[in-house]
Structure 1
């Protein structure tokens, strides 16, 4: 059996003395989309920040068969791990294309001559960004900012792309486009770890899912199985249906 690209065991992380994650276990196969759903405060963003090296953590994080525990955030970036945070963290006073080219830092450090090929791939994936390439990032719509944040991460050609609440604050039609893009990325071979409160959309696009509650994995399984699990339906999907009907 092929080893997973990412294998997390007994992960503990938090803020100061306040532990948020309590012995979490998680796997992501290469080329798959894995989602982590759960309520606010469950520890979803904490998980991504711990994996990225933003937060200190205890436990074992294996990436491509090697431990990340002693590696810094910068070293993890150079290993091919990228995080698109909930805040998007764009340079608002810089044009779209400059924001994108900054994302090519890893590839240039690895010896790429320039970032034009990566830029063209991102523009093919997000034609709107090509149209807005000279526009300041701070003047973009919410959906365009999310496209730019994902595009910038892809400029480094990561093997593992982690997305923190990509649908947050976006209109339903824009959310649909973002998740269509996530689905399309699967064919490029990138592994996606998706943290998302929109459980229905996340489970529709994912191969495997985890339900995180109070810092622990409450349920896990193939995304299609979770989508039909009565507890998931009652707690997450039922609420989504009621909201949609309102």
Structure 2
């Protein structure tokens, strides 16, 4: 991976809550236009990783984003630099209409003076036609799948350099999960850089270019996503016996 292609470079990352350290010297990289997934069990530190990258948690180590060291930068500064996080809890403005939530997501390009930034609404509505149908509906009255779509759409309104998704499939019906991952595949085809944290290892590895397996705050395995999907250790722990049989017969 060349320096020019590298968008995110994390080395020796330590973070946690109070005296409880969750991440123990984490290191990984992400290239421009790449989808990288971090998979692992509950409690491994997946969400902690994203919160540390976003500046929501104090952290030690080196985080370089688009060639800039993020040490001593605030959450707001990281947002303006092009980091966008779709949190696990979505954190929408429930008493505001769908379209107002999306417009608020455009704060970054609006502040940067990007001409025609509101045209991003049409892109979001193209990705998520259901949001266009419900654009006047209060966000708090949407279904779980629609709220996830709105959270992703709001993040895309920021025109981020890196879109970070925290468990986008959590709590959603299988049909909705497939729809969310189809959108991730489409964004990948458009060249959007994505850091995907997921417990649904099978779905994550199918859409990602590269994967990291996080185990108790450290990287246990990493490699091209298609290789990890065939790795016996990943199959046994995350993909189940049925997937293991299929991989063995391939």
Q: Give the TM-score range, shorter chain.
A: over 0.9
- In 2, the alpha carbon distance for the partners of 1:199 and 1:108 equals 36
1:210-221 → structure 2 map (5 Å cutoff): 210-221=212-223
Deviates more, 1:35-44 or 1:115-124: 115-124
Equivalent position to 2:30, from 28, 31, 34: 28
Equivalent position to 2:184, from 182, 185, 207: 182
Q: Report the alpha carbon displacement of residue 188 of structure 1 after superposing the two structures with TM.
A: 2.5
> Secondary structure of the residue that 1:135 maps to in structure 2?
coil
Residues 118-151 of structure 1: CA deviation (Å, up to 9, x unaligned): 1111111111100000000011011000000000
Q: Report the alpha carbon displacement of residue 64 of structure 1 after superposing the two structures with TM.
A: 1.0
Provide the alpha-carbon RMSD of the alignment: 1.3
Q: Retained in 1: the 8 A contact 2:235–2:243?
A: no
Residues 95-131 of structure 1: CA deviation (Å, up to 9, x unaligned): 0000000000000000135542111111111111000
- In 2, the alpha carbon distance for the partners of 1:37 and 1:31 equals 19
Residue matched to 1:192: 194
- In 2, the alpha carbon distance for the partners of 1:77 and 1:157 equals 10
Residues 201-242 of structure 1: CA deviation (Å, up to 9, x unaligned): 000000000000000000000000000000000000007869
Q: Retained in 1: the 8 A contact 2:35–2:207?
A: yes
User: Given the alignment of the two structures, is residue 18 of structure 1 paired with residue 37 of structure 2, yes or no?
Assistant: no
Residue matched to 2:114: 112
Q: Report the alpha carbon displacement of residue 186 of structure 1 after superposing the two structures with TM.
A: 1.2
Q: Retained in 2: the 8 A contact 1:23–1:59?
A: yes
1:1-246 → structure 2 map (5 Å cutoff): 1-3=1-3, 4-113=6-115, 115-238=117-240
What's the TM-score, normalizing by structure 2?
Answer: 0.94
Q: Retained in 2: the 8 A contact 1:198–1:240?
A: no
Task: Please list every run of at least 4 consecutive aligned residues from structure 1 whose deviation after the TM superposition is greater than 4 angstroms.
Answer: 239-242
Q: Retained in 2: the 8 A contact 1:209–1:223?
A: yes
Q: Report the alpha carbon displacement of residue 19 of structure 1 after superposing the two structures with TM.
A: 0.5
Q: Report the alpha carbon displacement of residue 70 of structure 1 after superposing the two structures with TM.
A: 1.3
| Structure 2 unaligned residues grouped into runs of 5+ | 245-250
Q: Retained in 2: the 8 A contact 1:84–1:150?
A: yes
Residue matched to 2:248: none
Residues 177-215 of structure 1: CA deviation (Å, up to 9, x unaligned): 000100100133221000000000000000000000000
Q: Retained in 1: the 8 A contact 2:24–2:217?
A: yes
